[in-house]
Structure 1
Amino acid sequence: MSKKVVIIGGGIAGMQAAVTLGELGIRSVIVEKEETLGGKLKGWDRLFPTMTPAGEVLEPLRGRVAASGAEILTSREVDGIEDGGRAVRLVDGSRIESDAVVVASGFDLFPAEIKEEYGYGIYDNVFTTVDVERMFREGGVRTADGREPRTVAFLHCVGSRDEKVEQRHCSRVCCITGVKQAIEVKQQIPACEVYNFYMDMRMFGPGYEELYRQAQQQYNIHFVRGRISEASQTIDGRIQIKAEDTLVGLPLRMSVDMLVLIVGMKAGTSNLRLCRSAGVDLYPSGFVHPLDQFSGNVRSGSARIFYAGTVTAPKNIGESINEGIVAAYQAAGAIKD
């Protein structure tokens, strides 16, 4: 195992790349800025569309990474790629020599507090999908004062397809996340009335459309086509929302116990540093631009730099894992003797 590939990011794409490289007899070094591997998957309770517990995907993958012999550097952050993939420079000034680099640094979540009209960080009972996922892991959905909610409203596309906050792209998985979480609320609290406010429902993946239908037909979740324009807090701590039901052309005002903002994916903050490196280009959205979107979707302008997962665009878990495999094979092919 004389050849070595540095993997930037220890989420699912980076972990799968390390596993595949190990199978190919190539050493890998994972550089992860967090304390543990797992990326955003660590924050999930159950996964759409099958409702599989996240741990059933994450823990076996962690075990395969450990068995692969990959060197794991956690709490370390990459500052740039040098010499076209021959080395990786860390923020602390150290340098890791490499024969190739797989960039799997993932995405950031849109900061919901930027959309001040929705009151996140201002009103107690406005949450994000990240907060709700944590509630599921910790035992159940509750209002800020610990009560079971009687009404919950989900708002789609917060930080996606929004020119006002320079996030023009679609995050792809927001719609199915809102459907999944709405079902979980109804499973935990059957008497709760759940509303999903949306502009377009994009059910692009296998099983997604079926879950959407199940949400309506089995769980009686209300889907309202219209964007919430304003949220405010009532004297008793509930959230009053104003919207328009565009299907019937009527304004709507209602009070709910919880408002949940379905936050989108935004380009990782590390991408700007990486774009200063040879062969790394960015889309206007800030996501990394691959060589092309067809046969070169994990390749860069450099022969030794490769991409995997959501560093290039919003993707689901299966797509990210698949790209980890492909990027590993591409890197192995690039450095073979």
Structure 2
Amino acid sequence: MKNKSVIVIGAGVAGIEAASNIADQGYSVTLIEKKDVLGGNLTNYAKLFPNFADADEVKNNLINNLSTKKVEILKNNDITKLFFENDKWHAVNSQNQTYSADVALLTTGFTVFDAKRKEELGYGIYDNVITSLEFESMYKTGKITTKQGNIPKRIAFLNCVGSRDEKVGNHYCSRVCCINAVKQATEFKTLYPESEAYCFYMDIRMAGQFYEELYRKSQEENNVIYIRGRISEAAATIDNRIQIKTEDTLTGLPLKMTVDLLVLMVGMEASEATSNLSKQNEINGEYGFAKSLGLHGNDNKTTKKGLFLAGSCKRPLNIPEAIADARAAALQITQYLNNLQ
């Protein structure tokens, strides 16, 4: 094994893939994860867009591949400080333990927007307003029900909750919410074809491979109905249903609708670790995400010697993008370490 070392902070999709690829080159790798499980946000999902791949299978494949490599894995390890001193990067955890290496790779990822910050939508107030992550948890059980245990006869999905929103300060698009709403609406209609499913949106952004095809299929085969307009208010009725108010901006007409379940498609925000560690090292960009040297050719490098980035600690990415970005970071790190030999 080569005598240079790397610490990878965050064991989500990008962290696992990067650690595996760097270890393949013979370097010593320590993968540090704050939780007691590997997989990051991938662990929250049942199926993945656009092909309904099993999320656990994707996660397990990544972890099984990692297990064949010489990578030290440290779980339940919350890194709170990261600094460069004496030609080494030092990561300090909440117990004041320090891990040192020649290179540090931030793969600290994202967290989801707290829907309680949009009080007008009633999350945390009304039983039958849930988030897209809670929908995923229910879908894993094989059924979708209201808080009262009933199958929804009518369900609504609201895009862009916490994204493209000046009121909460997030002007950016989270990039995955549109296609995730299409996926979840399709899943719901597949389970309950007699029920109604509505998606409320500002714009439908189907930029990925097979996204547009799934969007068309959801309408033509699953009868999902799309309404252009943001929900301005949600309130509970006496029978625990949710009445929503919006405007259909294609017709210019106000719209009221009562649904059994309202699903908020929550966007991505920089995780606390991403925000804190990038700020400590003066590589913080907009909205708390870490800032790379540049999108074109230097997207995994930073202004700091030996400090690299991968995955959605930089900006919202989907899973295939995070995996590809992790491989790119591993190559950049390998080249950097080879030059140190």
CA distance in 2, matches of 1:182, 1:20: 36
Deviation at 1:270? 1.6
Residue from 293, 296, 303 that aligns with 2:295: 293
**Partner of residue 149 from structure 2, selected from 146, 150, 154:** 146
| CA distance, structure 2, for counterparts of residue 242 and residue 273 of structure 1 | 38
State whether residues 178 and 206 of structure 2, in contact with CA within 8 Å, keep that contact through their aligned partners in structure 1: yes
Q: How do 1:138-177 residues align onto structure 2 when only pairs under 5 Å count?
A: 138-177=141-180
The equivalent of 2:70 in structure 1 is: 69
**Using the alignment, how far apart are the partners of 1:276 and 1:232 within structure 2?**
39
Task: Return the alpha-carbon distance in structure 2 between the equivalents of residues 197 and 211 of structure 1.
Answer: 17
Tell me how far 1:86 sits from its aligned partner: 2.1
Q: TM-score, normalization: structure 1?
A: 0.98
- Residue of structure 2 aligned with 1:179, choices 176, 179, 182: 182
Structure 2 equivalent of residue 7 of structure 1? 8
Deviation for aligned residue 1:55? 1.8
Separation (CA, whole Å) in 1 of partners of 2:290 and 2:159: 25
Aligned-residue identity in percent: 42
Deviation at residue 293 of structure 1 after TM alignment:
0.7
Decide which of 219, 225, 230 is 1:227's aligned counterpart. Answer: 230
Helix, strand or coil for the counterpart of 1:86? Answer: strand
Among 198, 211, 215, which residue is 2:214 paired with? 211
| Range with bigger deviation, 175-184 or 82-91 | 82-91
Q: In 2, are the aligned partners of 1:172 and 1:202 still within 8 Å (CA)?
A: yes
Deviations 1:246-275 (A, max 9, x none): 101111001000000000001111233213
- 3-state SS of 2:182 partner: helix
Task: Report how far residue 63 of structure 1 moved.
Answer: 0.6
Written as runs of structure 1 = structure 2, the 5 A alignment for 1:247-266 is 247-266=250-269
Tell me the CA shift for residue 303 of structure 1: 2.5
- Cα displacement (A) at 1:232: 0.3
- The question of whether the paired residues in 1 share the 8 Å contact of 2:278 and 2:289 is answered with no
- Aligned amino acid, residue 90 of structure 1: N
Q: How big is the shift at 1:23?
A: 1.0
Post-superposition offset of 1:140: 1.2
* 3-state SS of 1:83 partner: strand
Local SS of the residue matching 1:285: helix
TM superposition shift of 1:123: 0.3
Aligned ranges 1:280-319 → 2 under 5 Å:
280-319=282-321
Q: 2:324 aligns to what SS in structure 1? A: helix
Cα 1:333/1:277, change in 2 over 3 Å: farther
Q: Measure the CA separation in 1 of the matches of 2:217 and 2:48.
A: 16
Find the counterpart in structure 2 of residue 44 from structure 1: 45
1:292 alignment partner AA: G
Matches of 1:272 and 1:107, distance apart in 2 = 10
The residue number in structure 1 matching 2:334 is 332
Q: Which moved more, 1:69-78 or 1:254-263?
A: 69-78
> What corresponds to 1:132 in structure 2?
135
C-alpha contact 1:149 1:192 (8 A) present in aligned 2: yes
* Structure 2 CA distance for aligned equivalents of residues 188 and 69 of structure 1: 43
Report the alpha carbon displacement of residue 138 of structure 1 after superposing the two structures with TM: 1.6
Partner of 1:83: 84
How many residues matched? Answer: 336
Q: Secondary structure at the match of 1:127?
A: strand
How far is 1:97 from its partner? 1.0
The equivalent of 1:55 in structure 2 is: 56
Map of 2:124 onto structure 1: 121
- Displacement of 1:282 in angstroms is 1.8
For structure 1, the residue ranges without an aligned partner over 5 or more in a row are none
**1:118 partner letter:** L
- Contact 1:80–1:276 at 8 Å: present in 2 too? no
C-alpha contact (below 8 Å) 2:109/2:274 kept by paired residues: no
Q: Does 229-238 or 61-70 show the bigger shift?
A: 61-70
Deviation at 1:90, TM superposition (A): 1.6
| Aligned CA distance change for structure 1 residues 234 and 35 (closer, same or farther; 3 Å) | same
- What's the CA shift for 1:203? 0.6
> Are the aligned partners of 1:102 and 1:328 in contact in 2 as well (CA < 8 Å)?
no
Is this contact kept in 1: 2:196–2:224, CA < 8 A? Answer: yes
Structure 2 CA distance for aligned equivalents of residues 74 and 86 of structure 1 = 19
- Give the counterpart letter for 1:98 in structure 2: A
Deviation at 1:67, TM superposition (A): 0.9
Contact 2:275/2:290, CA 8 A, preserved across alignment: no
Alpha-carbon contact 1:101-1:331 (below 8 Å) kept:
no
Shift of 1:80: 2.2
> Residues 49-71 of structure 1, C-alpha deviation per residue, up to 9 Å, x if partnerless?
00111122111110111111211
For 1:327 and 1:45, the matched residues in 2 are separated by 28
